[in-house]
Copies of this chain bind each other. A is one copy, B any other.
Amino acid sequence: MPLRLSTADTGFAAAFYTLVNARREADADVSRDVAAIIGRVRDNGDAALHDYTLRFDRHDLEESGWEIPKAERVAALAGLDRDLRAALELAADRIATYHAAQKPEDRDHVDAAGVRLGARWRPVDAAGLYVPGGRAAYPSSVLMNALPARVAGVPRLTMVTPTPNGEVNPLVLAAAEIAGVDEIFRVGGAQAIAALAYGTGRIRAVDTIVGPGNAWVAEAKRQLYGVVGIDMVAGPSEILVVADGKNDPDWIAADLLSQAEHDPTSQSILLTDDAAFADAVAAAVEARLATLSTGVTARTSWEANGAIVLLRSLDEAAALSDRLAPEHLELAVEDPDAIFAAIRHAGSVFLGRHTPEAVGDYVAGPNHVLPTGRRARFASGLSVLDFMKRTSFIALDPASLAAIGPAAVALAEAEGLPAHAASIAVRL
C-alpha cells in the first residue's frame, strides 16, 4: 500500500515534510570510477573508448564499426511500420513548432545617454546527445533532446549510444534520422561523455551535452560541467495529480501508473478532497496492476514511493504542490486554471480531465525533459535556450563616454583598480 495522509491529521505537517524530503536518488558512489574513466579518455582517446566498450558493451569497435552509418538510419526509418512512422513524424512536427517560438530575439538600441547597447544570440557550434542503450532507449527522448538543438540552429549534432553486444534499437535510429542527427557513435557510459567533452581522434568535441543516462553518465556530466555545457541533473521521474471526486477513478489510476511503470524509484502522488474517491483510485490502481505487463516495476514504485493525500479542501492543493515542486502536475479538476494561477513551482502542468500526462511525453509539443527532485524551484525544462548563448555588446562615442565614463572612473578608483580607471580617463 502507498502512504496515506490527511491534512486534517495532527501529524500531517511532519509526515508531509518527510515525503517532500525523502531522497529517492541512488547514492551510487561512482565519482571516483567516473573520474578515472574521464582521465583515461582525455589522455588516451580512442584507445580508451575501444577498451571500455569491449569491457562494458562486449563488442570490438574495430569490428562492429565506430559509427552507425547513415544508410542504417535511413533503412531503419524506411522499415518502420507506417502508423509508427506517422506518429513519430507528428510528434517531431509538433515538438519543432512548439520550440520554434522559444527562439530569443536580439537587441540593439541606443539609449538616452547615447550608449549603444544590445545582446545577440547564437547557437553552440556542436551539441552531443546521449541516448541510453537497452530498455530505456526511447525514440521520444531522441526527438525531445535533438529537436531543440536543431531549432536553435546548431550546425553539428553528434549522438552517442551504447550498443550492448553490438545491438541497436531501430526505433531510436529512425527517430535520429527524423530529428536530423548528423552522426552516431557506438559508445556509451561515462567514456562517451568524456569523448564528447574533450574530443578524441574519431569523435570531435562538442560544446553542450544533453540526454538521459545511468548514474555513471549523470556523474560524468556533473564532473565535466564547465568544460562543456550540460542539461539539468536528472533524478527519478514523478507525477503529482490533483483530482476532485468527479473524475473517473480509473483514469486517475492509469495516470498514476504511467509514472510508476518508468522505474522502481519513480513517484506518483494523488491529492484529492474526496475520501471515497481516494479509495476508489487505490482500488483501481490495484485492479490495473493485476494485468499490467510493467506491473512489477509499477507496484514497487507505487508501494515504496506512492502517496494519497486527503485534503480538507482543494484550496490546500497549490501550497502542498509547491512544496513538492513536481516534475509533472496534473490538475484534473473543474477549474484547473484557478489552481494553476496559484502554483509557483512545477516542470510542466496538465490542465483538466482530458490531459493525461503521457500526451506530454510524446506529442503535445513542450519538452518532456523536465526538472525532477524539487528542482522546478529553480530549473526549467529543456529548451532552445540550452543550445544557444548570448553575447552582450556596448558601443560608446566620445559624447556618451563623457556622459557615463566619470562615474566608472570613480568606482574603479574606489575599488582600488587604477588601470581600470586609467583606461577610461585616458580617453576623456
Interface residues of chain A, those whose CB is within 8 Å of chain B, are 83-84, 86-88, 90-91, 94, 97-98, 101-102, 107, 111, 113, 115-117, 119, 122, 124-125, 135, 138-140, 171, 207-208, 222, 225-226, 228-229, 232-233, 248, 250-251, 254-255, 257-258, 260-262, 288, 292-294, 298, 336, 340, 343-352, 354-367, 371, 373, 375-381, 383, 385, 389-398, 400-401, 404-408, 410-412, 414-424, 426-427
Q: Which residue of B lies closest to A291 (CB)?
A: B418
5 contacts between A and B (CB under 8 A): A116-B351, A349-B392, A357-B423, A359-B404, A366-B392
B407 and A362 contact, CB distance less than 8 A: yes
Q: What separation, in Å, do the CA atoms of A397 and B352 have in the docked complex? A: 8
Knowing A362-B411, A412-B361, A419-B260 touch, does A122 contact B344 (C-beta < 8 A)? yes
Kindly list chain B residues whose C-beta atoms are within 8 Å of the C-beta of A84.
410-411, 414
Q: What separation, in Å, do the CA atoms of A359 and B204 have in the docked complex? A: 38
B101 and A107 contact, CB distance less than 8 A: yes
Q: What separation, in Å, do the CA atoms of A232 and B417 have in the docked complex? A: 24
Knowing A350-B394, A411-B84 touch, does A419 contact B292 (C-beta < 8 A)? yes
Q: Which residue of B lies closest to A298 (CB)?
A: B419
Kindly list chain B residues whose C-beta atoms are within 8 Å of the C-beta of A381.
390, 392
Kindly list chain B residues whose C-beta atoms are within 8 Å of the C-beta of A135.
416
Q: What separation, in Å, do the CA atoms of A424 and B255 have in the docked complex? A: 9
A423 and B87 contact, CB distance less than 8 A: no
A418 and B293 contact, CB distance less than 8 A: yes
Q: What separation, in Å, do the CA atoms of A128 and B255 have in the docked complex? A: 37
Knowing A416-B135, A427-B251 touch, does A393 contact B88 (C-beta < 8 A)? no
Kindly list chain B residues whose C-beta atoms are within 8 Å of the C-beta of A405.
359, 363
Q: How far is the CB of A83 from chain B (nearest CB, A)?
A: 6
Kindly list chain B residues whose C-beta atoms are within 8 Å of the C-beta of A87.
406-408, 410-411, 414
A358 and B426 contact, CB distance less than 8 A: no
Q: How far is the CB of A172 from chain B (nearest CB, A)?
A: 10
Q: Indicate which residue in B113, B222, B362 contacts A226 across the interface (CB closer than 8 Å).
A: B222
Q: Indicate which residue in B358, B371, B421, B423 contacts A423 across the interface (CB closer than 8 Å).
A: B358
Kindly list chain B residues whose C-beta atoms are within 8 Å of the C-beta of A410.
83-84, 87
Q: How far is the CB of A293 from chain B (nearest CB, A)?
A: 5
Q: How far is the CB of A347 from chain B (nearest CB, A)?
A: 7
A421 and B116 contact, CB distance less than 8 A: no
Q: How far is the CB of A175 from chain B (nearest CB, A)?
A: 10
B377 and A207 contact, CB distance less than 8 A: yes
A419 and B359 contact, CB distance less than 8 A: no
B207 and A420 contact, CB distance less than 8 A: no
A414 and B171 contact, CB distance less than 8 A: yes
Knowing A258-B420, A294-B417, A427-B354 touch, does A359 contact B408 (C-beta < 8 A)? yes
Knowing A340-B393, A397-B352, A401-B354 touch, does A419 contact B258 (C-beta < 8 A)? yes
Q: What separation, in Å, do the CA atoms of A88 and B407 have in the docked complex? A: 8
Q: Indicate which residue in B90, B228, B257, B355 contacts A419 across the interface (CB closer than 8 Å).
A: B257
Q: Which residue of B lies closest to A349 (CB)?
A: B393
